[in-house]
Amino acid sequence: MGNSIPLELPSADSIFSTQEQRNDMKREMVDEIALAEIDDFPGHPFRVTVDDEMVESVKKDGVRTPGIGRRKEDGRVELVSGHRRKLACILAGLETMPVIVRAMTRDEAVIAMVDANMQREKILPSEKAFSYKMKLEAMKRTAGRPSKEKGSPVANELNPTPMVSDLEKLRTSEQLGKDVGESREQIRRYIRLTELIPEILSMVDESRIAFRPAVEISYLPETKQRALFNTMQAEACTPSLAQAQKIKRFHESGKLTDEVILSIMCEEKPNQALQFKMPQERIAKYFPNSYTAKQMEETILGLLETWQKQRERSVMER
């Protein structure tokens, strides 16, 4: 007898389902999930705000783009992408939200969450700082794991970062820099901001203190940061890069005291010989509590310009 050729039997799925049904099984399903069953992503580093226009749009047309979530061990859904859409649904009085639930590990979810939010038009320094830190730590943990499919990194539209193959060739910090368009050194600087006390980090977000001096300040312990913050408030000033580096050097030598901080902060900066200072607490009572120092400054300058025009008009009328 000649060699027999084994027959490949069709699978049960191919016998009892149509091609359309099999294609549907491969597609991701969108489920309407109760908002009460959707948990926010733990440690979500991005601010979640929506405007009235977005809320009205959701009221009228619903959520057009589904959120992305992962099923937790307790059966609830953890939101990976779509926190603003969820808030808009709540404000619009809806009870459910369309969500695509994917099978993801914790680290895959972290990477997907950061990548999705990096598409925002404006990202605050603090948001970059904590998201870069979260993603870098997840990438480091993931780099040593085998891929789900040999030779095929895990990737999708929310997670374009190869999980294994490229990470074996590049250091994770270099890969992260490549993903977000930053140098490895700039990634390191942003992550340093997570060491700042909240008050100083808020000043960075509000552009009241420059980025590089803030990085230098991050090397100070919390007690010294608070002493510096109190001095900045009392003297209505912020450190230049040179001053911040000088403060850091005094700390490293063990000689940084509150008096030294005050002395350095009172040094005259180049090109700032003429500088008018007024303690913030003296003028804060004239402004809403929500006003930043920058808003106070702009309001005062506007009033001074009005006053100057009135004086000029008065002189001309004499």
Residue 163: per-residue pLDDT: 45
Is the domain of 43 the same as that of 63?
yes
Residue 317: per-residue pLDDT: 65
312 domain residue, yes or no: no
Angle between helices 125-143 and 184-192 (to 10 degrees): 110
Is the domain of 81 the same as that of 129?
no
Residue 15: per-residue pLDDT: 41
The rounded distance, in Å, linking the Cα atoms of 72 and 80 is: 12
pLDDT higher than threshold 50 for residue 195: yes
Residue 96: per-residue pLDDT: 95
Percent of the chain with pLDDT over 90: 55
Is the domain of 21 the same as that of 96?
yes
If one counts the domains in the chain, the total is 4
2 domain residue, yes or no: no
Is the domain of 125 the same as that of 188?
yes
Residue 145: per-residue pLDDT: 57
Is the domain of 254 the same as that of 210?
yes
Is the domain of 218 the same as that of 180?
no
283 domain residue, yes or no: yes
pLDDT higher than threshold 60 for residue 20: no
Residue 150: per-residue pLDDT: 37
What is the CATH classification number for the domain harbouring 89? 3.90.1530.10
Residue 161: per-residue pLDDT: 46
CA distances from 109 to 7, 78, 79, 156 (A): 43, 9, 9, 12
257 domain residue, yes or no: yes
Which of 4-13, 33-42, 305-314 has the weakest average pLDDT? 4-13
Question: What digits encode the pLDDT tens for the residues 131-169?
Answer: 999 999 999 888 765 544 433 344 444 544 444 444 444
Judge contact between 2 and 70, C-beta under 8 A.
Answer: no
Of the candidates 137, 165, 192, which is a domain's last residue? 192
287 domain residue, yes or no: yes
The rounded distance, in Å, linking the Cα atoms of 162 and 270 is: 47
Tokens of 9: 């039997």
Is the domain of 27 the same as that of 98?
yes
pTM for this one? 0.68
Of the candidates 103, 128, 163, which is a domain's last residue? 103
pLDDT higher than threshold 90 for residue 2: no
pLDDT, greater one: 302 or 216? 216
Question: What digits encode the pLDDT tens for the residues 240-275?
Answer: 999 999 999 999 999 999 999 999 999 876 655 445
Judge contact between 67 and 99, C-beta under 8 A.
Answer: yes
pLDDT higher than threshold 60 for residue 196: yes
Work out the pLDDT band at 288, boundaries 50, 70, 90. confident
243 domain residue, yes or no: yes
Work out the pLDDT band at 27, boundaries 50, 70, 90. low
Question: What digits encode the pLDDT tens for the residues 229-241?
Answer: 999 999 999 999 9
The rounded distance, in Å, linking the Cα atoms of 251 and 247 is: 6
pLDDT, greater one: 12 or 232? 232
Q: DSSP per residue over 112-171, as a string? A: HHHHHHTTSS---HHHHHHHHHHHHHHHHHHHTSPPSBTTB---BTTB-S-SSTGGGTS-
248 domain residue, yes or no: yes
Residue 205: per-residue pLDDT: 95
317 domain residue, yes or no: no
- Per the structure, the complete domain to which residue 86 belongs is given by 16-103
